[in-house]
Structure 1
Amino acid sequence: MEDRNEYTKRKQEINRSKLLKRIPLEQLMDLKVDYAFKQLFGNEKNKDITVVFLNAILQKTGRNQIKDISFMNTEFSGEYVDDKQSRLDLLVVTTADEKINVEIQFTNKYDMIKRSIYYWSKAYLSSQKKGMGYTELRPVISINILNFDLFSQTERFHTSYHLYEDEDQFKLTNVMEFHFIEMSKLIKDWKDDKLDPWNDALVRWLLLLGMVDSRNGKIYDDIYKELEEMALKDESLREAFHNWEGLSMEQEQRLVYESRLKQIMDEEAAQREAELRVQHAEQKAEQKAKEAEQKAEQKAEQKAKEAEQKTKETIAHRLLEKGLEIELVSDSTGLLKNKVIDIQRGMQK
């Protein structure tokens, strides 16, 4: 009886503390859209949850726990007029004087690795001041959260990278670190029941990002129910849900978000249309090439037949000159008897 009462009490506690009190799940912003992500995690008032989120990612590589962060200007100008402008999604500096750049990419633009290295280099050089020695340059950590698959070499949703010596595999430097998180692989692992969000803080936070799938118009209610129960004990997660709800309800924020989402979806549609046009053009070119090849083969085959026929006729001509019977010449060359007779008549003219 006591066990049953404890269960009932726990269910009542969960029901009393519904995370989303004013908004249905369908109205939550997709946090994989860069605007929504930056409004939640790049906001000074939400700094505490950003610290927890970053620590969950960086624990993989053994980095010291972040105690505090300050947000930096996310736009870097090029050194020269023609240089590209770089606008980062989220850039913070820790109390250990390490910079962390977080990029969230909704769409695969097929240049993610080079893009990440480029952004890393801008953040690394931005701290250099006149007269500063190279030893004073501080580490930069790049975190890339991707709404698509990037690496075919692994099924792991979180991979990290450094510079290592080729043979002995010792680390060259600690100033460069890259993290890539592939959300599609995370969701696959969730569906395959391979994740344990109760004992893995990173999984909890990433499931928060993956709960709303605006590209496919899908909401993962099972993820929400799991996170809702965990939020009873995880204050940072509970705060993230509260702030996420508030952000999704603000009319002005909502309009900007929907405008940004439409822009992304339009870009994806245009990219897909361009890919289909290229694919159609390639198929058309391939079909033309195939038809041309078939015509060439038919022409070559026809020429070969004509050459063979000419050879047979030449042989028949010689055999007739030697006085062989028409029937024997026909059998020897494979020519029809009437054809051999025509050749003989031509010889008599």
Structure 2
Amino acid sequence: MPRKLISFDWAIKKILRSKANFGILEGFLSELLFTEIRILEVLESESNQDKGFDKYNRVDIKVIDADQQIIIIEIQYLRELDYLQRILFASAKTISEHLTEGAAYAEVSKVISVNILYFDFGKGDDYIYHGTTHFIGMHNHSVLELSEDQKKLYKAEKIADIYPEYYLIEVKNFNDIAKDSLDEWVYFLKNEQIKENFTARGLRQAKETLDVLKMNERERHAYEYHQEQLHYEASMYESSYIAAKLEGKAEGKAEGKAEGKAEGKAEGILITAKNMKQAEIPVTTIAKVTGLSIAQIEVL
């Protein structure tokens, strides 16, 4: 049976920031993007620093590759209804952070946003989604192309190459059958194991580097606590979400009017916030999830 390996979120937080371990991250990105990726360095900003509340929500790492592309990798465990807007904001913020004051717009960095999701997201039957930008004619439906001068200016072949790209990996939707090398990586992301016959780039090094048994006792205790917290918080969040949804729905149905539905929904949100507060989830995280103000949450 394959050995238990360190989860990808912990690896990004503690291990993959080291240049000696770039090969693991390069392998994953090369398989996902279907091109050879070579990481030059890890970039730091407010969005990917190691802060105390990270475990409640996400883990970020931001790197730049040999082609000067900026790649954001984000791991999300808890349900977040406005997640699409958040990744849009993150890519826009990254662009603004890395455009030198006074520089021409042609210097805007290419941003690739890779999102590994451990919750049910949207409606769809696939487990990997890719989003790009295209301009389509309203009358003849033709795709707008770059001119030859623009291709030289941007060093790109098409408009989608200069705009942000988004990858959504819905881990829970994967059926554990690895049909190709990218699937082998998704299998690892879901199961924290690598089978003997897997050959995807980066997995051999991951198998050697991310072996839980190679941790010292202090590291292993910290890792086990991290895993327990993730399970507990996910369970509490899902329970609160379902309870709030049911109670809000029941309240609205009893009223039989739009006003009753609105009150039920509001009550459900308060229940969610109260349960999350009892689970000692930070007030700032509760506010982000529920839309309530910090003042409203503190009086619950």
Alignment TM class, shorter chain as reference: 0.5 to 0.7
Q: Is the 8 A contact 2:133 2:163 kept in 1?
A: no
> Counterpart of 2:248 in 1: which secondary structure?
helix
**Residue 109 and residue 48 in structure 1: after superposition, are their counterparts in 2 closer, same or farther (change >3 A)?**
same
Give the CA deviation at 1:46.
0.8
Q: Which residue of 1 aligns with 2:22?
A: 47
Partner Cα separation in structure 1 for residue 254 and residue 133 of structure 2 = 48
- Measure, in 1, the Cα distance between the counterparts of 2:186 and 2:32: 10
Give deviations 1:35-88, integer Å, cap 9, x for gaps.
3443343332211121111111111xxxx52234311114259xxxxxxxxx86
Question: Counterpart in 1 of 2:223?
Answer: 257
Aligned pair partner of 2:142 in 168, 179, 183: 168
Asked if residue 102 in structure 1 is aligned to residue 73 in structure 2, the reply is: yes
- Per-residue deviation, residues 129-177 of structure 1 (Å, max 9, x unmatched): 222221112101101111123241x322211111111332446442311
Match of 2:96 among 122, 125, 128: 125
- Contact 1:88–1:101 under 8 Å retained in 2: no
In structure 2, do the counterparts of structure 1 residues 65 and 235 end up closer, same or farther at CA, with 3 Å as the change threshold?
A: closer
1:142 is aligned with what amino acid?
Answer: S
**Greater helix share, 1 or 2?**
1
Indicate the SS of the match to 2:187: helix
CA displacement, residues 316-347 of structure 1 (integer Å, 9 cap, x when unaligned): xxxxxxxxxxxxxxxxxxxxxxxxxxxxxxxx
Offset at 1:235?
Answer: 7.4
Give me the whole-angstrom Cα distance separating, in 1, the residues matched to 2:39 and 2:127: 27
Equivalent in 17, 33, 46 of residue 58 of structure 1: 33
1:280 to 1:143, Cα distance in 2 relative to 1, 3 A? closer
User: Paired residue for 2:247?
Assistant: 281
Gaps (5+ residues) in structure 2? 49-57, 145-157, 257-300
CA distance in 2, matches of 1:135, 1:74: 23
User: 2:165 maps to what in 1?
Assistant: 177
Once the two structures are superposed, the pairs formed by residues 63-212 of structure 1 within 5 Å of their partners are: 64-76=35-47, 89-152=60-123, 154-166=124-136, 167-170=141-144, 172-173=159-160, 174-186=162-174, 188=175, 190=176, 193=177, 195-196=178-179, 200-212=180-192
SS in 2 for 1:107: coil
How far 1:286 sits from its partner (Å)? 4.8
Q: 1:110 to 1:40 in 2, by over 3 A?
A: farther
Q: Secondary structure at the match of 1:41?
A: coil
Aligned to 1:229: 197
Equivalent residue pairs, number: 230
Amino acid at match of 2:188: L
What is the distance in 1 between the residues matched to 2:189 and 2:163?
A: 28
Q: Deviations over 1:230-281 (max 9, x none)?
A: 35xx673222111110576233333333333343333323323432442353
Where 2:63 maps in the other structure, the secondary structure is strand
3-state SS of paired residue (2:71): strand
Letter in 1 for 2:218: E
CA distance in 2, matches of 1:96, 1:284: 54
Cα pair 1:74 1:89 within 8 Å, conserved: no
Equivalent residue runs for 1:257-336 within 5 Å:
257-282=223-248, 284-286=250-252, 288-289=254-255
Structure 2 CA distance, aligned partners of 1:132 and 1:142? 23
Mapped partners of 1:246, 1:283: distance in 2: 44
Cα distance in 2 for residues equivalent to 1:284 and 1:66: 52
Structure 1 runs (4+) greater than 4 angstroms displaced? none
The residue matched to 1:89 in structure 2 has which SS? Answer: strand
CA RMSD of aligned residues (A): 3.0
Q: Gaps spanning 5+ residues in structure 1: where?
A: 1-17, 78-86, 213-222, 291-349
TM-score (normalizing by structure 1): 0.58
Deviation at 1:183, TM superposition (A): 0.9
2 CA distance for matches of 1:137 and 1:283?
46
Contact 1:40 1:247 in 2 (8 A): no
Alpha-carbon deviations, 1:180-220, whole Å to 9, x = none? 1111122x2x3xx5x42xxx2211112111224xxxxxxxx
Query: Structure 1 residue 29 and structure 2 residue 9: aligned?
Result: no
SS of corresponding position for 1:132: coil
- Secondary structure in 2 aligned to 1:100? strand
